[in-house]
Amino acid sequence: MAEQPDNVLIETIGLEKHFDSLHVLRGIDQQVKRGEKVVVIGPSGSGKSTFLRCLNRLEEPTGGQILFEGVDITAKHSDINRIRRKMGMVFQQFNLFPHMTVLRNMTLAPVRLKVMSQEQAEEKAMGLLTRIGLKDKATQYPRALSGGQQQRIAILRALNMNPDIMLFDEPTSALDPEMVGEVLDLMRQLVNDGMTMVVVTHEMGFAREVGDRILFMDEGVIVEEAPPAQLFSNPQKERTKRFLEKVL
């Protein structure tokens, strides 16, 4: 096993992904430190979502390695279900379970996986809901909630597992514009709590504000990475400049 400094939470080594003949990730070497907020930007089709989804093997990498807390999670014998408990994920489409109440959405996995007792899970869930002012929604079904509320609850559902890292796959892209703010606010709270986060987003303002490091991806590689102040105001690569001119 590769040596890894203690403060590195997750590391990819030569990460590759092929979809049949399509070469989507062409060798990504990255380290995310504990507490770090990494924001991935890039044009659609650049592979940024695939990169994120490879981190918890929702997408199976076709080459390279991923080390999470020092463990090679791409190894054949690795227990990915156990590892995923420590990695929360938030999707573009929320993906709340429509046949369950908000509370059950949040307690299902922690209880079933024996991370917590039913009472503990509910107590924690209610605490989280109270914090974002949605305590009264606990017994409602997702369909009764707005998109912004659903996405915030999807974030809480992941948080209720006590993850060590949160992965966000374009969390605001499916939202009506007036609901983007409330989701970003909740993500800012996570930032302040010191959560390790990898965020794929088109929200450049948010990226600049909370990112410790921005990765600009295009055509399956990380073209450029830098702290936001540097990457946004003084990009080094031609491709980065062209992309930023279009989106800023």
Partner 1 sequence: MGFFEQLARDFQFNIIDGDRYLMLVRGLGTTVLIAMCAAIIGIVLGSVIALMRLSTWRMGKTFYPLRAISSFYVDVIRGTPMVVQLMIMYYVILASSSLSKELIAIISFGLNSAAYTSEIVRGGILAVDKGQTEAGRSLGLSSAQTMMLVVLPQSVRIVIPSLFNEFIMLLKETSVVGFIGLADLTKAGDFIRSRTFSAFFPLMTVAVMYFVIVSLLTRVFGRVERRLRKGDGRTA
Out of 1, 143, 192, 248, the only residue in the binding site for partner 1 (CB under 8 A) is 143
Out of 8, 13, 71, 108, the only residue in the binding site for partner 1 (CB under 8 A) is 108
Shortest distance in whole angstroms from residue 122 CB to partner 1:
16
Strand 63-68 and strand 8-19: the pairing is antiparallel
Query: 132: which residues sit within 8 A by CB, 6+ positions away?
Result: 152, 156, 186
**41 vs 159, which CB is nearer to partner 1?**
159
Out of 96, 197, 217, 226, the only residue in the binding site for partner 1 (CB under 8 A) is 96
Out of 22, 45, 93, 130, the only residue in the binding site for partner 1 (CB under 8 A) is 93
d(CA 49, CA 62): 15
Stretch that binds partner 1, among 20-28, 37-45, 89-97, 184-192 (CB under 8 A): 89-97
Distances (CA, A) of 89 to 39, 104, 197, 230: 14, 17, 10, 28
Task: Please report whether residue 8 would count as binding partner 1 according to CB under 8 A.
Answer: no
d(CA 182, CA 60): 32
Write out the H or E segment, with its range, that includes residue 15: strand 8-19
**97 vs 127, which CB is nearer to partner 1?**
97
How many C-beta neighbours within 10 Å does residue 97 have? 13
Catalog residues that contact partner 1 under the rule CB under 8 A: 56, 58, 81-85, 87-89, 91, 93, 95-99, 108-109, 112-113, 141, 143-144, 154, 157-158, 161
